[in-house]
Amino acid sequence: MAKKVVAKGRAGSPLPAAERGGSSASQPPPDGAHGVTRPTQRPSALVDTRVIYCGDNLEQLKKLPDACVDLSYIDPPFNSNRNYEVFWGETKEKRAFEDRHANTQAYIDYMRPRCVELARVLKKTGSFYYHCDWHASHYVKVMLDQIFGENNFINEIVWKRQSSHNDAKQGSKHLGRVHDSLFLYSGGSDYYFKHLYQTYDEDYVEKAYRFVEKETGRRYRLGDITAPGGGAVGKGNPHYELLGVTRYWRYSKENMEELYRQGRIIQTKPGTVPSFK
């Protein structure tokens, strides 16, 4: 059985709308429990995102209307041919599932109808993430291309496990398997996506941006403006003198002179190769 399916309305609560668990639907905790404040009204007109739906995700997905979900993330079995168990919650209840299939085709046959339903409930502006690893990722990619459409494939996200043990031990005949893959698909061409940025760590800024403008106090770093490939035949890189230094350069002489007038070309001392500010 799939480990987890999360479907979340964009305007909704922090509670997932679909998750693997027991056999019946359960109500959200009271206000304030676990730091969660429950909305008094349904945040979505299409699906009640205040409820955690438990049981076989395929059966629960069939009950949802078309195009009602903004974001789906699944962390299903990886076709690892292993059994898993965990002690759950404060009561330490033992829960387990088997990740065993007759072969890879049987695994894909198990996952396909679930992914078909996930594609059906995904909005045209929505996004879908499938978490897997080397056991079946290449077969999963083909299946998802067929269901969501090749043109709706956005990214393969490679997640290197920070604390994993390298399984390429002495005598092994393979490289280390130390990463998972997440396949990102959209529901259509006009999908919602927003980059999130964080402020650089001060230590990183001081090391990476070592130079400071005297006039403004702004930090900057220097970049290479010599041409990749140098004077290799076929590159066509311009060759001329700049601030007393003759090289193959990344930019034409006219563009370089304009950058210099803008203060973007820096020579730290006479005779050194100029850099881009």
**What digits encode the pLDDT tens for the residues 53-74?**
888 999 999 999 999 999 999 9
Give the pTM.
0.68
Question: Is the pLDDT at 2 greater than 50, yes or no?
Answer: no
Mean pLDDT score, 40-53: 80
* Mean pLDDT lowest among 37-46, 148-157, 175-184: 37-46
Pick the CATH number of 5-186 from 3.40.50, 3.40.1130, 3.30.230, 1.10.150: 3.40.50
Task: Give the closest residue to 51 by CA, choosing from 35, 39, 59, 62.
Answer: 39
Burial letters 75-109, b for 16+ CB under 10 A, else e: bbbbbeeeeeeeeeeeeeeeeeeebebeeeeebbe
Element (H, E) at 159: strand 153-160
Q: What is the Cα–Cα distance from 114 to 118, expressed in whole angstroms? A: 6
DSSP string, 50-95: T-BB-S-HHHHHHTSPTT-EEEEEE------SEEEEEEETTTTEEE
Q: How confident is the model at residue 30 (pLDDT cuts 50, 70, 90)?
A: low
User: What one-letter code names the amino acid at 173?
Assistant: K
Domain parsing of the chain, residue ranges? 5-186, 202-276
pLDDT digits 0-9 by tens, 203-234: 999 999 999 998 999 999 999 999 999 989 88
Question: Is the pLDDT at 167 greater than 80, yes or no?
Answer: no
Three-class DSSP category at 269: coil
* Mean pLDDT lowest among 36-40, 100-104, 237-241, 249-253: 36-40
How far the first Cα of the chain sits from its last, in Å, is 55
pLDDT digits 0-9 by tens, 189-201: 999 999 999 999 9
Encode 163-174 in three state secondary structure: CCCCCCCCCCCC
User: Using the 8-state DSSP alphabet, how is residue 152 labeled?
Assistant: G
